A and B are shown apart, each in its own frame.
Chain A
Amino acid sequence: MVTLDINGAKKQLDIDPETPLLWALRDGLHLTGTKFGCGMAQCGACTVHVDGKPTRSCVTPVSAVAGQKITTIEGAKSKTAEAVRASWRKLDVVQCGYCQSGQIMAAVALLESNKKPTDADIDDAMTGNVCRCATYQRIRAAIHDAAQSL
Chain B
Amino acid sequence: MKLANENLGRRGFLAGSAAAGLVIGFNLLPGGARAAAAPAAAKTFAPNAFLRVAPDGTVTVLSKHLEMGQGSYTGIATIVAEELDADWSKVRVEAAPADAKLYANKLLGVQGTGGSSSIANSWDELRAAGATARAMLVQAAAASWNVPAGEIETSNGTLRHAASNRTAPYAQFVSAAAALPVPAGVKPKDPKTYNLIGKSAPRLDSNAKTDGTAQFTLDVYLPGMVTAVVARAPKFGATVKSIDAAATKKVKGVLDVVQIPSGVAVVGKDFWAAKQGRDALNVTWDFAGAETRGTDAIVAEYKKLAEQPGTVAAKKGDAAQALGQAAKRVNATYVFPYLAHAPMEPLDVVVKLTPAGCEIWAGDQFQTVDQSNAARVAGLKPEQVTIHTLYAGGSFGRRANPGSDYIVEAVALAKAMKQKVPVKIVWTREDDVRGGLYRPLFVHKLEAGIDAQGNVTAWTNRLVGQSILSGTPFESFGVKDGIDSTSVEGSNDMPYAVPNLLVDVHNTKTGVPVLWWRSVGHTHTAFAVETFLDDVAKAAGKDPFELRRSLLSDPKQARLKRVLELVAEKAEWSKPLEAGRGRGIAVAESFHSYVAQVAEVTAKPDGSFKVDRVVVAVDCGVAVNPDVIKAQMEGGVGFGLGALLHGEITLKDGEVQQSNFHDYVPLRMNEMPKVEVHIVPSLEAPTGVGEPGVPPIGPAVANAIFAATGKRVRDLPLTPEKLKAAQA
* Interface, chain A (partner B; CB < 8 A): 15-16, 19-20, 23, 26-28, 30-40, 42-43, 45, 72-74, 85, 88-89, 92-101, 104, 122-123, 126-140
Are A34 and B270 CB-contacts (below 8 A) given A131-B344, A132-B343?
no
Contact with A along B655-673 (1 / 0, CB 8 A): 0000011100011111010
B115 at the interface (CB under 8 A from A): no
Dominant secondary structure at the A interface = loop
A-B residue pairs in contact (CB < 8 Å), sample of 22: A23-B271, A23-B272, A27-B271, A32-B219, A38-B660, A39-B429, A42-B429, A43-B666, A94-B210, A95-B394, A96-B391, A98-B216, A98-B344, A100-B210, A101-B212, A122-B669, A126-B669, A128-B668, A130-B344, A130-B666, A131-B344, A132-B394
Q: Is the CB of A43 within 8 A of B344?
A: yes
* Bound Cα distance A30, B271 (Å): 12
B residues near A123, Cβ cutoff 8 Å: 669-670
Identity of the chain A residue whose Cβ is nearest the Cβ of B225 in the assembled complex: A27
B228 at the interface (CB under 8 A from A): no
Contact with A along B510-528 (1 / 0, CB 8 A): 0000000000000000000
CB distance from A54 to the nearest CB of B (A): 14
* Bound Cα distance A34, B426 (Å): 15
Contact with A along B270-293 (1 / 0, CB 8 A): 111000000000000000000000
Identity of the chain B residue whose Cβ is nearest the Cβ of A36 in the assembled complex: B218
* Bound Cα distance A36, B429 (Å): 9
* Interface, chain B (partner A; CB < 8 A): 9-10, 68-71, 202-203, 205-216, 218-219, 221, 227, 252-253, 270-272, 342-346, 391-396, 426, 428-429, 627-628, 631, 634-635, 637-639, 641-642, 660-662, 666-670, 672, 674-675
Are A89 and B202 CB-contacts (below 8 A) given A32-B219, A132-B344?
yes
B residues near A132, Cβ cutoff 8 Å: 342-344, 394, 396, 639, 666
* Bound Cα distance A34, B216 (Å): 11
Identity of the chain B residue whose Cβ is nearest the Cβ of A132 in the assembled complex: B344
Identity of the chain A residue whose Cβ is nearest the Cβ of B209 in the assembled complex: A97
B216, B428, B662, B667: which contacts A42 (Cβ < 8 A)? B662
* Bound Cα distance A49, B663 (Å): 27
Q: Is the CB of A100 within 8 A of B209?
A: yes
* Bound Cα distance A100, B214 (Å): 11
A residues near B395, Cβ cutoff 8 Å: 96
* Bound Cα distance A136, B670 (Å): 9
CB distance from B9 to the nearest CB of A (A): 8
Q: Is the CB of A133 within 8 A of B639?
A: yes
B residues near A26, Cβ cutoff 8 Å: 218, 271
- Which residue among B203, B209, B428, B634 has the maximum number of chain A CB atoms within 10 Å of its CB? B209
B residues near A39, Cβ cutoff 8 Å: 428-429, 660
Are A134 and B205 CB-contacts (below 8 A) given A30-B10, A40-B662?
no
Q: A88-B210, A94-B205, A137-B672 are in contact. List 6 more A-B contacts (CB 8 A).
A: A33-B212, A36-B218, A132-B344, A132-B666, A134-B642, A136-B672
* Bound Cα distance A30, B661 (Å): 26
* Bound Cα distance A93, B210 (Å): 9
- Which residue among B68, B209, B344, B394 has the maximum number of chain A CB atoms within 10 Å of its CB? B344
A residues near B661, Cβ cutoff 8 Å: 37-38, 40, 42-43, 130
B68, B344, B429, B638: which contacts A99 (Cβ < 8 A)? B344
Q: Is the CB of B210 within 8 A of A38?
A: no
B residues near A23, Cβ cutoff 8 Å: 270-272
Identity of the chain A residue whose Cβ is nearest the Cβ of B348 in the assembled complex: A36
* Bound Cα distance A19, B670 (Å): 32
B residues near A38, Cβ cutoff 8 Å: 429, 660-661
A residues near B252, Cβ cutoff 8 Å: 16
CB distance from A141 to the nearest CB of B (A): 10
A residues near B429, Cβ cutoff 8 Å: 37-40, 42-43
Nearest 10 A/B pairs, CB to CB = A33-B212, A134-B638, A98-B393, A96-B69, A97-B209, A95-B69, A73-B212, A136-B672, A32-B219, A27-B270
Q: Is the CB of A85 within 8 A of B211?
A: yes
Identity of the chain A residue whose Cβ is nearest the Cβ of B690 in the assembled complex: A95
Identity of the chain A residue whose Cβ is nearest the Cβ of B270 in the assembled complex: A27
Identity of the chain B residue whose Cβ is nearest the Cβ of A38 in the assembled complex: B429
B residues near A127, Cβ cutoff 8 Å: 668-670
CB distance from B137 to the nearest CB of A (A): 30
Identity of the chain A residue whose Cβ is nearest the Cβ of B202 in the assembled complex: A92
Are A34 and B212 CB-contacts (below 8 A) given A95-B69, A97-B393?
yes
CB distance from B498 to the nearest CB of A (A): 34
* Bound Cα distance A128, B207 (Å): 24
Q: Is the CB of A138 within 8 A of B634?
A: yes
Are A136 and B638 CB-contacts (below 8 A) given A23-B270, A72-B212, A88-B206?
yes
Q: Is the CB of B218 within 8 A of A35?
A: yes
Q: Is the CB of A37 within 8 A of B346?
A: yes
CB distance from A135 to the nearest CB of B (A): 7
CB distance from A38 to the nearest CB of B (A): 5
Q: Is the CB of A135 within 8 A of B634?
A: yes
B residues near A126, Cβ cutoff 8 Å: 669
* Bound Cα distance A45, B342 (Å): 14
* Bound Cα distance A11, B207 (Å): 27
Q: Is the CB of A96 within 8 A of B669?
A: no
* Bound Cα distance A36, B428 (Å): 9
A residues near B642, Cβ cutoff 8 Å: 134
Q: Is the CB of B627 within 8 A of A137?
A: no
